[in-house]
Structure 1
Amino acid sequence: MRASDSDRDRVAAVLREHTAQGRITMDEFNERLEQLYQSKTYGELERLTSDLPDVDLRHRQLAKKSDKDAAKKAKTHAGVRAAWGAWAMASSINWVIWLIVSVTADHWIYPWPLWVMGPWGVVLLVSTIFGPGGSSQKR
């Protein structure tokens, strides 16, 4: 029986998985891939993987999806950390300026850095809690 392009793609995915797991070398993978795209029947496709154990590609795709989710979470987490770092740095610089001006002035100076760090901090806090990947979202 003749094989379709999707059948060849499925066997190519199996060969890639076996290469990733170290069962076949890259040279063997390339040789089998050449034979794969020259194959016309199911029998020819089956010979390419007959010496390899069965692979459940559906299970492998679930793992890849969870890997993507983990990478997305890590990226979001890094962005949130960077935003909080920028907030902390700007707030620190403003407080140092306020402190220098307060010490050198003859009178008490209103703590204006609160107006810089307060609203920005509230926005960051709300976006950290309720934003994408926030802890209060249902999964």
Structure 2
Amino acid sequence: MAKEVSGPGRRVSEPRLETLRAADSDRQKIADQLKAALDEGRLSLHEYDDRVGEAYAARTYADLIALVDDLPRPGMSAADVTARREAEARRSARRMPTALVVLWTIWGALTAVNLVVYVLVAVTTSGHLYPWPIWMLVPGAALGVVTAGVQTARGRRQR
């Protein structure tokens, strides 16, 4: 039977990972993960027996993933799972919006260019030179106030 190809050596539809056939080693890994869940008290003996039987009868990765989808990684306690979720929530609350990241990047680039030009002019001329890069502090301060306000508002909203 000929393969359907579109272009040199490419299949028309690449199979998704879940539809691929599982190997014996994959089934054994899932069985080991189920044994760890049994040892931690997450599964009853009857449920463990059912799932291990289904694991050894599984044909695809989707069949195997369904057996351990509701279980945390081996060795993780409920406190670990809760702590990880809370840490992720704190991390997302501290994350700046993309618009502010872009504005800070633009301000930083303009400030760097101003400082480099100022240093080059100061080195090549004699006498007193007005420190015009100091004016970059004005938009920087305004951007800092806006950032603090946005982060405070986001913190209140998530409580």
What range describes the TM-score normalised by the shorter chain of this pair?
Answer: 0.3 to 0.5
Q: TM-score, normalised by structure 2?
A: 0.36
Larger fraction in helix:
1
